[in-house]
Amino acid sequence: MADFGFSEHHQNEVINYMRFARSKRLLRLKTIDSCFQELKDSRLVEETFTVDEVSEMLDGLQVVVRGEVEMELINTAHTNVLLLRQLFSQAEKFYLKLQTDISELENRELLEQVAAFEKTDFKSGSKVNQESNKPKLAPLNEGGVSELLNKEIARLQEENDKLKARVRILESQAMNALDEKCEAERALTDLQKMQGDQQHAMQDKEISRLEDTVAAMQINFEKTLSTSSASQKELQNSLVSAKHELLRVQDQLALAEKELDKKFQQTAAYRNMKEILGKKNDQIKDLRKRLQRLKHSHLTGTEK
């Protein structure tokens, strides 16, 4: 194991991160140095300065340096969050739950160990043997990642065995259900066959009954048709008789009317009325003749 209690691979990852952090730190320090150098080049051109001028220059430098340091601290915090995100994402793929101890981040002894590692192992690239009583960084989990993986594998294996047992039970139930389905299909086929035979017999009976009904209806229709023909003939005879009777009655009425007219002419009232009408006709004729003579006399007098 390496000095930090990591494997060689993990210790190399730590070295890579420390190199990245050192490069960012050196870049920020160069920026701060450039701020001081810019102040010297741009403002320190006089031999003497007043207190106000010095105070103004220091205030401006303070603002610039404060901004650079704050930006570096914020960027470092965000970078650490991204690093933790990578570690947690890899752990969750194996269903691991990592834990962090924030108080250990201010452990002076461990911080000094990291500083010593950076000065020796990190710069030279070689390992330095430490004393046996020198404290080491403890791993995140006392049991180690391999133990957690073994536990997770055992748990998954147990779940797999349970699933296999459940699959076997389901397969057995499926086979039983398939057998029951086959038996039900056979029973249904037999029942349909029996129902088909019964239905065929019932259809034959129904057809025979319908044939008898049709024959009876045909006989009744023929009887009705024969009766209708006889009734029609009888009706025609009755109509002819009625016509003859009507003609006879009309002749009798005409004869009775003639006799009545003849009898009326033979009565005294009829004779008197006839004489009066004759006299009136004669008077009318006489008046017409007299009128003609008057018209003729009048026309003759007018011409003279």
Q: In degrees to the nearest 10, what's the CA dihedral of 24, 28, 30, 35?
A: 170
Average pLDDT (207-226) is 83
Looking at the structure, do residues 123 and 65 belong to the same domain, yes or no? yes
Query: What is the rounded average pLDDT for all residues in the chain?
Result: 79
Looking at the structure, do residues 138 and 158 belong to the same domain, yes or no? no
Q: What is the pTM of this model?
A: 0.38
Q: Provide the domain limits for residue 110.
A: 8-142
- Span 104-162, pLDDT tens digits: 888 888 888 888 877 876 555 544 444 434 444 444 444 455 677 777 788 888 888 88
pLDDT at 304: 55
- Span 1-49, pLDDT tens digits: 335 677 888 878 888 888 888 888 888 889 888 888 888 888 887 778 8
Average pLDDT (291-304) is 74
Is residue 112 situated within a structural domain?
A: yes
Looking at the structure, do residues 108 and 136 belong to the same domain, yes or no? yes
Looking at the structure, do residues 133 and 210 belong to the same domain, yes or no? no
Looking at the structure, do residues 88 and 35 belong to the same domain, yes or no? yes
Looking at the structure, do residues 161 and 107 belong to the same domain, yes or no? no
Looking at the structure, do residues 29 and 134 belong to the same domain, yes or no? yes
Average pLDDT (200-212) is 82
Residue that finishes a domain, picked among 187, 219, 237: 237
Looking at the structure, do residues 185 and 133 belong to the same domain, yes or no? no
Residue that finishes a domain, picked among 120, 142, 164: 142
The angle at the Cα of 55, spanning 53 to 59, to the nearest 5 degrees, equals: 120
Looking at the structure, do residues 133 and 39 belong to the same domain, yes or no? yes
Among 83-97, 115-129, 164-178, the range scoring the smallest mean pLDDT is 115-129
Looking at the structure, do residues 126 and 15 belong to the same domain, yes or no? yes
**Number of domains comprising the chain:** 3
Looking at the structure, do residues 17 and 101 belong to the same domain, yes or no? yes
For residues 68-94, b (16+ Cβ closer than 10 Å) or e, as one string? beeebeeeeeeeeeeeeeeeeeeeeee
pLDDT at 32: 87
Best CA proximity match to 43, nearest among 60, 68, 66: 60
Is residue 260 situated within a structural domain?
A: no
Average pLDDT (274-293) is 86
Is residue 152 situated within a structural domain?
A: yes
Average pLDDT (267-283) is 82
